[in-house]
Amino acid sequence: MTEAVQTSLPFTPRVFSGIQPSGGLTLGNYLGALKRFADTQDSGTQSLYCMVDLHAITVWQDPAKLRHATRELCAGFIASGLDPQKSILFNQSQVSEHTQLAWIFNCVARTGWMQRMTQFKDKAGKNAQNASLGLFAYPALMAADILIYHATHVPVGEDQKQHLELTRDIATKFNHDYGVDFFPITEPVIEGAATRVMSLRDGSKKMSKSDPSDASRINMTDDADTIAKKIRKAKTDPEALPSEAKGLEDRPEARNLVNIYAALADMSVDDVLREAGGKQFSAFKPMLSELAVEKLAPISTEMARLMQDTAEIDAILAKGAADARVIAAPILKKTYEIVGMVGA
């Protein structure tokens, strides 16, 4: 990880992150999470990546689609270079310790804390009375995902910052209420705004699978022609590219395309602009299309191959769950002991 290890307690560094299998992976998921995770897998820190299927069902999911999306997400991880021998890759529902710890956290966290969560307010919309109880308790399950492994570092997008603060609040209150130093105070590792992938139609909005316009995003399953067409149609401004990053400051669409190029090419924005500065978008867009197709085509091909044989994916997830349980089971047992459960 790039950021310094800073926990209040001497816990071994361990990375955990979760992604919802709610269908449809975008270039934003790839650059913001999957590639980022694969790039750090040789850092020597133990890492766990979880497909949070139990979080997905806090809003309605068609069962067949959920199953497909979970496997597709797993295929996306592997096709992006994540090695299941190096990182633990699994789906949440196969490790029941998550929900067991979540119940304890339901009893530690306060309803007032949940009510303040902006994601709940956004997802519940106007009719919060009709939201599922699971959607309300979502952040306590998320805290359990992280703390059942004593994870110290959690790479996520900016939108998850509030949930991670709540995770720290839950750990702090648990430790305080029971007079222990048991759960670590987890450090968020927030993806910087400089690298966030934005919509191709509006540089102020995050690229999202839920945007009604398919032209706003590149899907990891788009073919070469579709990628090229979406980039050709991407919103830009009439200026040429600047020769330094600061020339992109008030040009969100231009900045987004340059950021995407830099991330795909593993280059800094300044290095990209050293090469492409002065070019018009009519010249830069074909360069970007070519690079995007070159990087994404092998990934979507590998995803399609993996999806033909779900037995291989299912075996990877089963092994990941077994590995995860080796860490989670003793932490749950100790938690039960601390709380006063007989038989723990």
Q: Would you name the residues annotated as active-site residues?
A: 123, 206, 209
Nearer to ligand TRP, 31 or 254 (CB): 31
CA distance 85 to 108: 35
Q: Alpha-carbon distance 321 to 313, whole Å?
A: 12
Kindly tell me the sign of the dihedral angle through the C-alpha atoms of 229, 234, 237, 243. Answer: negative
Start-to-end Cα distance in the chain:
35
Which residues lie below 8 Å from residue 318, measured CB to CB, with a gap of 6+? 94
CB 43 to ligand TRP: min, Å: 18
Name the residue number minimizing CB distance to ligand TRP.
18
CB of 198 to ligand TRP, least distance (A): 17
Strand order in the sheet with 153-156: 88-91, 46-51, 14-19, 153-156, 187-190
Looking at the Cβ atoms of 22 and 236, the one nearer to ligand TRP is 22
- Give the Cα separation of 250 and 214 in Å (integer): 25
Nearest distance, CB of residue 17 and ligand TRP, angstroms: 5
Query: Which two structure tokens, joined as six digits, stand for 156?
Result: 């996520």
Q: What is the spatial distance between Cα 208 and Cα 241, in angstroms, rounded to a whole number?
A: 25
Q: Return the H-helix or E-strand segment holding 156.
A: strand 153-156
Question: Which CB, 145 or 253, lies closer to ligand TRP?
Answer: 145
Position 239, amino acid: E
Residue 16 Cβ, how far from ligand TRP at the closest point, in Å?
6
Question: Given the complex with ligand TRP, which of 150 and 163 has the nearer CB atom?
Answer: 163
Nearer to ligand TRP, 71 or 285 (CB): 71
Closest distance of CB 265 from ligand TRP, Å = 26
187 within 8 A of 7, measured Cβ to Cβ: yes
CB of 314 to ligand TRP, least distance (A): 21
Longest dimension (CA), the chain: 71
Summarize as ranges the residues that interact with ligand TRP (CB under 6 A): 16-18, 20, 52, 55, 142, 145-146, 154, 156, 160, 163
* 82 within 8 A of 299, measured Cβ to Cβ: no
Q: C-alpha 89: how far from its chain's center?
A: 13
Among residues 3 and 309, whose Cβ is nearest to ligand TRP? 3
